[in-house]
Structure 1
Amino acid sequence: MQEAIIARVRRWEILLRQAMLDSDVAALETLLDKELLFVTHVGKMLGRSDDLGAHRSGLIELHDLQTTDERILIKDNVVIVSVKTRISGRFNGQPSDGVFRFTRTWLLSPDLMSGRVIAATSVLLP
């Protein structure tokens, strides 16, 4: 059962990455919980509407997301994914490139067949 859940969450992570690259707000709306809590690498607390607004307005424009060093922890209907990510793109019109560690908490539906990100944090790595 755990292997099936891990495979599902990995697919959702791929969908999330693609939605971020495409600034696909509709896809992001299905993957991010309405009550999302996201703490950025500078300690700013954002919600789902902040994230969607940044993509909708063009404030965030991602060109590439490369992930490595994935760790997954499953506890009942909660899955925590921690992944190292190299991001390149533009933020507020300025070129931006960096390596981050993202930790996302996925809350799975009771049947474990769907899930949404309910919390996330990012840390800028040296």
Structure 2
Amino acid sequence: MQENQIIEYEEKLRKAMLTSDVKILDELIHDKLIFVNHFGQVLNKEADLEAHRSGVLHFTDIQVLNQSVIPLDDTVVTVTRVSLRGTVGHDPIEDEMCYTRVWHNIDGALKIISGHCSTVK
């Protein structure tokens, strides 16, 4: 798996998060996703998609500050630090966050099977 391929997937994910494109997010997220958000809550795929679908989570800007890619056979781990702005519910957010994602190659398509997000202080 090439590093530029996973960077393209990460960019596709970033754009889908910005536009709350649930169709693309659905394609990129594995059905058995386990995601731990910055509150320590464990979310599955449907909860992640519903946050975008309902508008509870809305990003207005996501800028990648740096990114590391670790390819491992049919799996890739990414660590991405971003600056983001948006809203969660009615509360504005403007933070730096660090996302760790585990992408797995399933029949030629990369899907996020696990992830974690932390606020950078």
- Alignment TM class, shorter chain as reference: over 0.9
2:115 maps to 120
What SS class does the counterpart of residue 122 from structure 1 fall into? strand
Aligned mate of 1:38, from 35, 40, 47: 35
What SS class does the counterpart of residue 43 from structure 1 fall into? coil
Look up the equivalent residue of 1:10 and give its one-letter code.
I
> TM-score when scaled to structure 1?
0.92
Matches within 5 A, 1:6-17: 6-17=3-14
What SS class does the counterpart of residue 63 from structure 2 fall into? strand
Look up the equivalent residue of 2:120 and give its one-letter code.
L
The question of 1:74 aligning with 2:105 is answered no
Matches within 5 A, 1:17-56: 17-56=14-53
Cα distance in 2 for residues equivalent to 1:56 and 1:104: 21
Which structure 2 segments of 5+ residues have no match?
A: none
Aligned mate of 1:93, from 86, 90, 95: 90
What SS class does the counterpart of residue 47 from structure 2 fall into? helix
The alignment-based identity, stated in percent, is 28
What SS class does the counterpart of residue 35 from structure 2 fall into? strand
Shift of 1:93: 1.6
What SS class does the counterpart of residue 40 from structure 2 fall into? coil
Tell me how many residue pairs correspond in the alignment: 121
> TM-score when scaled to structure 2?
0.96
1:7-65 alpha-carbon deviations (Å, 9 max, x no partner): 11111101000000000000000000010000011110001100100001000110000
Indicate the RMSD between aligned Cα atoms, in angstroms: 1.0
